Amino acid sequence: MRLLILLSVAATLLAQSERGTITGTVRDATGAVVPGAKVTLTNTAMGTASTAPTSESGDYTVPGLAVGTYIVRVEKDGFRPASVTGLVLNASATVRADATLEVGTSRQAVEVSASALALATENAKTSVTIDNKLVDELPLVVGGALRSPFNLAALTPEAKNLGGDNGFILGGGQ
């Protein structure tokens, strides 16, 4: 049984991605979608930027983004630019950043600040990436016993140690 749990946790950890996705919908002040708007996503720590146009339905999706804090800027001729700042993207997460453009010139701007903690409404998936450095830095003796893969699993979000030889549960499962 423990081997099965170990293999499933190991497979899950290997499948983790150090990248995330930002998606959203761009609308005007009346609620109509805005196709063809230019969406620029800037990683504030690295200074890198990615751009994407909105589709005919006003949607955009930019996958493969490095984790970090982003500024999302939306521009379209005839509208004031809009920005969403402080958008936190975690590994393997999909974060939504919708924007509303107001009619006006590009000299005027609308800025929206994201909350400090982004809530993933697309799915309930929570993940963590455990790299080789973290494994190597784990102490050989943990809690009076030799290091085991279960010590790594305990680092994942929503992992709960049941105590003793009872193991642990992930995300409320058994």
Give the pLDDT of the chain (174 residues) as one tens digit per residue: 554 454 454 444 444 568 899 999 999 999 999 999 999 999 999 999 999 999 999 999 999 999 999 999 999 998 999 999 999 998 889 999 999 999 886 555 556 666 545 555 666 666 666 677 766 776 666 666 776 666 666 666 666 766 666 666 766 665
Q: Does domain 20-113 have CATH number 3.40.640.10?
A: no
Instruction: Supply 140's token pair.
Output: 């050989």
Tell me how far apart the alpha carbons of residues 113 and 1 are, in angstroms, rounded to a whole number: 47
Q: State residue 132 phi and psi, 5-degree precision.
A: -60, -35
Tell me how far apart the alpha carbons of residues 142 and 150 are, in angstroms, rounded to a whole number: 11
Task: Tell me the sheet residues that pair with 51.
Answer: 40
**pTM beyond 0.95, yes or no:** no
Q: Specify the residue for token string 């453009």.
A: 101
Contact 22, 85 (CB under 8 A): no
Q: In the chain, what are the domain boundaries?
A: 2-14+128-170, 20-113
